Structure 1
Amino acid sequence: MKVSNKTSSPNESQKSFATVPQEILDKLTRFEMPAVRGIDPSGETIEVTGRTIPVYRCEALVLGSGAAGMRAVVELKRRGVDVLVASTGLFAGTSACSGSDKQTLYTASTDYKGDNFIQYAEGLCSGGAMNFSTAYIEAVGSIDAIGGLQYMGLPLPHDDRGAILRYQTDHDEAGRATSCGPRTSKLMVKVLFEEALTLGVRILPSCSGIRIVKETVEGKERVCGVIALHREEDRNEYGLVYIQCEDLVIATGGPGELYRDSVYPHHCHGGLGIALEAGIELCNLTESQFGIGTPRTKFPWNLSGTYVQVMPRVYSVGEDGEEINFLKRYYRTTREMVSNTFRKGYQWPFHSQRMLDYRSSLFDLAVFLECQAGRKVYLDFLRNPEPVNEGEEFSLDNLDPDVRAYLENNEALYDLPIDRLRRMNPLAIELYKMHGTDVSKEPLEFAMNNQHMNGGILIDDWGRTNLNGCYAVGEAAGTHGVTRPGGSALNAGQVFGKRVAVAIKRAKNNHNDRSFDPAMMEKAVTDALSDADSYTHEDTGLTTKEVKTEVQARMSDYAGIICSEPEVNAALEAARELRRKIEAEGFQVRSASMVGNAFRWKHMAYVSEAVLTALDHYIANGGGSRGARAICSDDGTQCPEAHSEDLSRFRFIEEQPKDKQEKLVVSYENGSFKISALPVDLTPEVEREFFEKGWGPYLIKEG
C-alpha cells in the first residue's frame, strides 16, 4: 500500500482507521482473572509459647505469584514436584498491575529470517555486569518460553504464515520485541494461573514470607522452611504459619516500595530484604531503570512506546495555573524537540549518555527539574507540540528521517496526536479510560519514576543462590546487567522459571528424601513470635509510617537519576543510623494484624542500606554514569547542554570500561553490610553438542 505524505483532518482520519471492535479491546484490557480457591487450612500444628502454629509441608515452595513465579510453579508441577505457592496478593504484583503502551516481551525473533542467538546474547550483556552464558541461556531459552506461553493461550499477534509480529524496543538493535497490548504480563499471569489450576497446584493466598529458616546439612547451610504470616489464619493472633520445604524459589518481584517516586503498584516490597537477612548475596544493586510514567497517586503506568511516539504537546503547570512549554528551554528547534519526544518511545529508560547532544534523556532531565520545581507535567494528546522558536510551527513534514519513516510505515500521518495514537495503538487509550482518564478529552499527568530493579539476588545459570536449596527468578533475581532491551526481564523470568524447575527436579533425583529437625522449626518460630510480641507490646520504637517516609524520601531524593558522591555518602550514613535504630528500638504497631508491616519495613530499611552501600562503594572507586544514574561532579568530563538553561551543575563522570567487567556483590554479615567485586565472563564460547554424545548424559540427568 502506498502511504500518502499528506496529513488528514481528524474527521477524515477517523473514517480511515481500521477500527478494532470494543469487545476485542475489552478482551485485552478488561478481562477477568481466574477464580482461585486457596487450599484448606492445615490440620497439622505445633504449640510454641502457648500459641498454635499451623504447619504446611511441600517439596518446593514458591514465594510470589507473578509471571516468573507461576512459570516455575507450572514447570515444577509438570515434573511431578509437590509445589506450594504462597502469595501476599494474587494478581496484585507488578506482573499483573504494571505495563506500558504495548508492554513488551523480548524473545528471539521468529519472523522473516529468524535470529542469531550469539548476537542476541551479545546484545543482552553489552551493557556490562552480566555473564555471556546467562545472556545466551536467555536467548536460546526464549524460544521455549514463548512457545509454552502460546500453548497455554497467550494471544501474541502473528501474520498468516505464523511469524510473530515484531518491533524495536529500547537497547534493541534487531527488533525482537512483541506484545499483546498494555496488559501483556497480566495476560501471561492469567494463562499461567489457568494452567496451574488445571494441573491442581496448591495455592496459599494472602500469605507473606517473613523469614527464611535454615539448617546445617553435611556442613553446609540449607533451606528447610519459611515463616510466613497468613491473613486468613486465626489460630494465633498474628496469623503466623510455618511452611516446611526442601527447596525455595524466591519470586517476589522487585522492591517497589523503595522509592517515593515510583511506577510500581502499591505494597510491592519484594524479597531482597528476606534474602539479605538469611545471608543470601545480592548483586548489581546500583542498577535500576528510571523513566517517565503516570504518578503512583493515580494509576501508575510507564509512558513508553506510542504514548510519546505520537508526539503529544508536553507542558507544565505552575501554582499560578500558567501552562509552560518548558521543553523549549532545552531543545534548539521544534524538529529536535519533537523527534526526541518520539524517541522516548523506544529509548524509554533514562541513560546519562542520552542527555548529551540534545538527545532523548535531556527530555527526562527537563521533566525531573520541572517536578523538582513543584510544577506538574502533562501530555496533551489533543494538541500538537508548541514551537521552540517563533515561526517554527510543528509539522509532520519537518521531522527527523527515522521519525517520519516510522509514522509513514504505520500509516499514522494524522493531524492530531490523539488520532495518531488511535491509529497506532487504540489499546493505549482504552487502558487509561478504564482507570478514569480519557486522553481523548483531557491531558495526562506524568513524572520521572523508578520502574525496575536490574540488580537483585545473585544466582548462577540454574537460578541457584549461595544458600543451598534456595533459588530466585524474575525481578528478584539480579541477572539483568546494566542496561537491557525492554521486555527482556519478562523473558528472563520465563526462561529461569523453567530452569529452576529442571534444577530442582534433577537435584531430587540425586538425593534421598530429607529429614527435618523439629527443634530447628520450633526455635525459628519462637524467635519470630518474640519479635512480633515486641512490636505489639512496646510503647516506644519506630512506626512503620516513619520508616517508610524516611526510606522513600531518601532514595528518591539522593539515589534517583541524579547522584553525587557527598549526597550518596550522607544518605548511606543516615540509612545505617536508621537500621541501627530499628535493631535497638524495634517497631511499635497498633495491633497484631499490623505486625507484618513491621517485618516488611525492617526488610526495606535493609534493602535501602544495601543499595546505598553498593552505590557509595561504586562512586568512591571511580564509578561513572551509565544506565540508571548520572554521577555528577565538578570533576566530570561530560556535561549536558540546553537551548537556554544552564546545566553545568549536571556535569558528570563518564562510565569506566572496567566497571562493565564486574558485578558488585552485597551481603549482610554479623550486623553490617559487606561488599565485593565478582568478575563477569563475557567470552562468547558456545560449543556444539553432538546428539549421540549429549543424549546419554541428558537422560541420566533427567532421571
Structure 2
Amino acid sequence: MISLRETEIRTVVVGTGAAGYHAAVRLHRYGEKDLAILAEHVTAGTSRNTGSDKQTYYKLSLAGEDRDCVRGLAEDLFRGQCVDGDLALCEAALSTRCFYHLVELGVPFPDNEYGEYVGYKTDHDRGRRATSVGPYTSKFMTECLEREALSRGIPVLDHMQMVKLLVRENQVRGVLCLDTENTTCCNFLLIWCENVVLATGGPAGMYRDSVYPASQLGSSGIAFEAGVLGKNLTEWQFGIASLRPRWNVSGTYMQALPRLISTDRQGGEEREFLLEYYEDTAQMQYMTFLKGYQWPFDVEKIFGGSSVIDLLVYQETVLRGRRVFLDFMHNPGGEKVDFDRLSAQARDYLRSAGACFGTPIERLECMNEPAVQFYREHGVDLGKEMLEIAVCVQHNNGGLSTDANWQTNVRGIFAVGEVCGSHGVTRPGGSALNAGQVGALRAAEYIARTGNASGKEVDGQEAIAIQEERTRELGREAAKAHIRMLLPGDTEWEWEEKQRVEELWEKAAKRMSRAGGMVRKEEGLRQALSEVKEDLRHFGRDLFISSPAQAARFYHLYDMLISQQVYLTAMLDYVLQGGGSRGSALYTCPDGEKPGEGLPDLFRCRPDRGALGGMIQEIGLWRQKGAVNSFTCQTNWRKVRPIPNPDTFFETQWKAYRERWNYL
C-alpha cells in the first residue's frame, strides 16, 4: 500500500509557473544539466490561471520622454515599507533584462512603430512603467517559458507533490514527494539533491474568501517545517473580486462605473447600498472609478478615499450576511451618468477613451472588450446578468525570507516568485511578475556560479562518504516518519468517529478568512491561533480519509495548518509590538478613529503611518521536543537592509565581473 523509491538530481525546481520555468531555463542556459522541474500538475497554479482586466508587468520605463533610472525604480520599490534595499535594487536593475527575455521568447508586449515599449501608470507608481498583454499576461509568460524549457529537454516530473524537505546541518539534502497520479496506493519518491528552488506561489489555500485559482494552494508550511524563516507575513493584498469565476474586478471593470447592489441570500431585497453612504451621486461614481486605479484595499484610503467601498462591501457580505453584485446593465443611481459632474481625473480618462456614453457594459466594451470576453468565456454575460463579488485575498506581499541571491537561511533552498517575501506593505501593481523573473535569474546565476552549494570540501573523501551515508539513513527515517503520519497505526483506509479531511479544511479556511483577513481583531487572532494549534496536535490521529486518492489533500491540509500557525503568530506579534493598521490590513481598535460616521465601530483603527516601515519581522518554526505536530514560533524584528551604493566605475566592475564568472 505504501512504497518509497529514491533517485538523485542535483537541482530541483518546484513549480511550473512563470518563476519556476524561468529558473529552470536560466539554470540550463548556464550549463546546469542535472536538473528537473517538480509539479503537482503542470497546468495548475496562479501564473497560468489568474489575471485581471489587463494584468500588469512592472519594469523600467522604455518609451517616450519618461525619465527613469534603476535607482529611481529601486527607491519606489523600497518606499513600499519593510522592503530590503538589496532586493529592491536587484528587481530594478534586472527588470529590463528579464522583460526583453520574455519579449524574445514571444510574449507579445505592445511596442510602437519605432520599437518603444509604451507603458501606463499603475497603483503606487510615479511613472508609466506598467505594460500588459491583456487579462492573461502571466499565462502568456508561463506558456512561452514552458516552450523554452521543453525545447531544452528539461525533464518535468508531473503529478509529484512535495510533502517534506530534508535538511541536515542547515543544508538541504532531499525532497520527499507523493506520486499523486497513482490513486490506488501511496507511492513516494525521495529525491536526493543539493539545491531546491521553491517556486510554489503564496499559501493561498489558507483562506476561504480568495481570488486565487482553486488549483493554487502553496507549500510554505513545508518550508517553515524545514527551518526556513518567514518575512513580512502580516502583509497581504485584499480586494474586490468576482466569486464565479475567481477574478479581480480591477481597472476598467470599475472605471466603466457599474452599479453595486446587495441582496439577501436568496437574491431578493435588492438595494443599491452605496447610495446609503454617499449623498452625492457624482462622488459615489468617482470613488467607484478610483477603485480601478486603486484596486487593493488600502488603509490609507479609507478616510474619505476609494477603499471605503471595500469596507461597505465587507459590511454587506460579512457583517450583514448579504450578497453583493456588480451590475453592468444599469447606470449607478439608475440614471444617465452626468459626465460633466465627474472629477477631472475620471472625466478626462473616459473622454480620452471615448466612453462618455451609455451603460456600464457599453463603456466597458468600448474601453476593454477582452475584459468582457473573459467572462463570456467563463459562462457569464455581463450584458445580461449581474456578477457576484466579495472582498478576497489576492496576493501575499510577505513570504520566505531571502538574501539578494534569493537564497533562504537554509543553504541550497531558494525562494522565487510569490513564495518569496521581497515585497513590503505596498507595491506597484505588476511588480510581482517582475520580482518572480528577477528572483529566478538571481537564484540560477548563484547556483551556476558557486557550483556545489553544500560547501563540501574536496579532501577527506572517505569521511565525506561516511557522513553522506549517515545523512541518507537519517533522511530515509525522517521520510518514513512523515509517511507514517498518513497511516497512524491502522492498516485499513476507513476509520470511524474521526474528522474528514474536507471538513477540517473548510473549518480551517473559514477561520483564517475570519481572523486573518482584511479586518483583524486581537482576540480573534488569539482564538484562531489556539484552534490551529489544537488541530495540529490531533493531526494524523483524529483524521479520516476514505482512500489513498485523498493522501494529496491530507498533506496539503498539514501544510495549510502549519502555515496558519506561523502567519497567525506573526499577525498577533505585530499587534503586540504596537503595530497599527497598514497596507491591506485594518486592525480594529476600540479607541481608534472611525473612517466615517455611517460605518460600524468595528472599523475603528489606528493607522500605522509608517511607524514600523523601517523594520522587518522575521519568524521561524520549531518542533517541540517529544511532541507530535506541536510547534513553537519565534519572531525577530530587524532593520531593513538599505539600498546598496555599489561602485559604478566601469573598469572596476569589469574586473569584478570577470572574476565572478571566472572569465580571466
Q: TM-score range by the shorter chain?
A: over 0.9
1:403 maps to amino acid: A
1:103 paired with 2:55, answer: yes
C-alpha contact (below 8 Å) 2:589/2:604 kept by paired residues: yes
Partner of 1:650: 603
Partner of 1:697: 656
Report the Cα distance in structure 1 between the residues aligned to 2:291 and 2:526, rounded to whole angstroms: 32
1:629 paired with 2:572, answer: no
C-alpha contact (below 8 Å) 2:2/2:188 kept by paired residues: no
2:526 maps to amino acid: N
User: Is the partner of 1:659 in helix, strand or coil?
Assistant: coil
Partner of 2:134: 181
C-alpha contact (below 8 Å) 2:647/2:653 kept by paired residues: no
Please state how far the C-alpha of 1:656 moved relative to its aligned partner. 5.2
1:311 maps to amino acid: L
Please state how far the C-alpha of 1:691 moved relative to its aligned partner. 2.3
Task: For structure 2, list consecutive stretches of 5 or more residues without a partner in the other structure.
Answer: 459-463, 625-630
Please state how far the C-alpha of 1:75 moved relative to its aligned partner. 0.5
Q: Closer, same or farther in 2 for the Cα pair 1:327/1:54, shift >3 Å?
A: same
* Match for residue 581 of structure 1 among 538, 544, 559: 538
Alignment of 1:153-172 (within 5 A): 153-172=106-125
Please state how far the C-alpha of 1:409 moved relative to its aligned partner. 2.3
Report the Cα distance in structure 1 between the residues aligned to 2:7 and 2:418, rounded to whole angstroms: 26
Report the Cα distance in structure 2 between the residues aligned to 1:656 and 1:677, rounded to whole angstroms: 21
Report the Cα distance in structure 2 between the residues aligned to 1:263 and 1:562, rounded to whole angstroms: 17
Partner of 1:317: 263
C-alpha contact (below 8 Å) 2:120/2:128 kept by paired residues: yes
1:54 paired with 2:5, answer: yes
C-alpha contact (below 8 Å) 2:235/2:583 kept by paired residues: yes
Please state how far the C-alpha of 1:283 moved relative to its aligned partner. 1.1
Q: Closer, same or farther in 2 for the Cα pair 1:618/1:51, shift >3 Å?
A: closer
Report the Cα distance in structure 1 between the residues aligned to 2:644 and 2:171, rounded to whole angstroms: 33
The count of aligned residue pairs is 638
Partner of 1:66: 17
Partner of 2:596: 641
1:227 paired with 2:176, answer: yes
1:140 paired with 2:86, answer: no
C-alpha contact (below 8 Å) 2:89/2:644 kept by paired residues: no
Partner of 1:408: 351
Please state how far the C-alpha of 1:400 moved relative to its aligned partner. 0.7
Alignment of 1:268-667 (within 5 A): 268-295=216-243, 298-318=244-264, 319=266, 321-357=268-304, 359-372=305-318, 373-386=320-333, 394-508=337-451, 516-517=468-469, 518-534=472-488, 537=491, 539=495, 541-582=498-539, 585=541, 587-636=543-592, 638-641=593-596, 645-655=598-608, 657-667=610-620
Please state how far the C-alpha of 1:678 moved relative to its aligned partner. 3.5
Partner of 1:94: 46
C-alpha contact (below 8 Å) 2:255/2:288 kept by paired residues: yes
C-alpha contact (below 8 Å) 2:425/2:583 kept by paired residues: yes
1:237 maps to amino acid: C
User: Is the partner of 1:533 in helix, strand or coil?
Assistant: coil
> Which has the larger displacement, 573-582 or 139-148?
573-582
User: Is the partner of 1:324 in helix, strand or coil?
Assistant: coil
CA offset digits 1:287-327 (Å, max 9, x no partner): 001000011xx210001110001111111122462321100
Task: For structure 1, list consecutive stretches of 5 or more residues without a partner in the other structure.
Answer: 1-49
C-alpha contact (below 8 Å) 2:199/2:417 kept by paired residues: yes
Please state how far the C-alpha of 1:189 moved relative to its aligned partner. 0.4
User: Is the partner of 1:667 in helix, strand or coil?
Assistant: strand
Report the Cα distance in structure 1 between the residues aligned to 2:2 and 2:206, rounded to whole angstroms: 34
C-alpha contact (below 8 Å) 2:3/2:187 kept by paired residues: no
Report the Cα distance in structure 2 between the residues aligned to 1:353 and 1:489, rounded to whole angstroms: 21
Partner of 1:17: none
Report the Cα distance in structure 2 between the residues aligned to 1:670 and 1:521, rounded to whole angstroms: 17
User: Is the partner of 1:226 in helix, strand or coil?
Assistant: strand
CA offset digits 1:488-523 (Å, max 9, x no partner): 111100000100000111120786789643423432
CA offset digits 1:538-562 (Å, max 9, x no partner): 7365421232122111111121111
CA offset digits 1:544-599 (Å, max 9, x no partner): 1232122111111121111122222222222222222226x353311222222212
Report the Cα distance in structure 1 between the residues aligned to 2:211 and 2:5, rounded to whole angstroms: 36
2:273 maps to amino acid: F
Q: Closer, same or farther in 2 for the Cα pair 1:586/1:241, shift >3 Å?
A: farther
1:681 paired with 2:632, answer: no
Moved over 6 A (4+): 512-515
CA offset digits 1:638-692 (Å, max 9, x no partner): 22115xx343331101205331111111111133333333423364442333222
2:238 maps to amino acid: F
Q: Closer, same or farther in 2 for the Cα pair 1:646/1:138, shift >3 Å?
A: closer
> Which has the larger displacement, 110-119 or 332-341?
110-119
Question: Percent of aligned positions with the same letter in both sequences?
Answer: 36
C-alpha contact (below 8 Å) 1:666/1:673 kept by paired residues: no
C-alpha contact (below 8 Å) 2:164/2:176 kept by paired residues: yes
Please state how far the C-alpha of 1:634 moved relative to its aligned partner. 1.6
User: Is the partner of 1:582 in helix, strand or coil?
Assistant: coil
Partner of 2:628: none
User: Is the partner of 1:72 in helix, strand or coil?
Assistant: helix
2:191 maps to amino acid: I
* RMSD between aligned residues: 2.0
Q: Closer, same or farther in 2 for the Cα pair 1:282/1:573, shift >3 Å?
A: same
Please state how far the C-alpha of 1:527 moved relative to its aligned partner. 1.8
User: Is the partner of 2:340 in helix, strand or coil?
Assistant: coil
Please state how far the C-alpha of 1:132 moved relative to its aligned partner. 1.8
Please state how far the C-alpha of 1:536 moved relative to its aligned partner. 6.3
